[in-house]
Structure 1
């Protein structure tokens, strides 16, 4: 189960997060922490990744 969850997380990150313009813009206008906060609280892909991550606990 954990391995499948990690694969899903990696696939989402590779497909949507690498090269994300919103992530880049948030980093330029704020800090890495503020960009991360945006990703895990407002971005639909980030929320999905976070949901999968919660299953690992």
Structure 2
């Protein structure tokens, strides 16, 4: 397993995703599923995390 890649993902999540206002609003106004879809398909940080995750496969 590539621990450097996991560390990058954890750092991005801790820095940008943990207190993300957009994610919170999406969850409150729409649903958790819609918030997740936004994060993995539209958010620049989410896309970066996703690309790092693809390297783990």
Taking structure 2 as the reference length, what is the TM-score of the superposition? 0.96
Computed over aligned residues only, the root mean square deviation of the Cα atoms, in angstroms, reads 0.9
Q: Which runs of 5+ in 1 are unaligned?
A: none
Q: Does 1:26 align with 2:49?
A: no
1:6 matched residue in structure 2: 6
Q: Which runs of 5+ in 2 are unaligned?
A: none
Runs of 4+ in 1 over 3 A off after TM superposition: none
Say how many residue pairs are matched: 57
Shift of 1:39: 0.2
2:51 matched residue in structure 1: 51
2:41 matched residue in structure 1: 41
Taking structure 1 as the reference length, what is the TM-score of the superposition? 0.96
**SS of alignment partner, residue 52 of structure 1:** helix
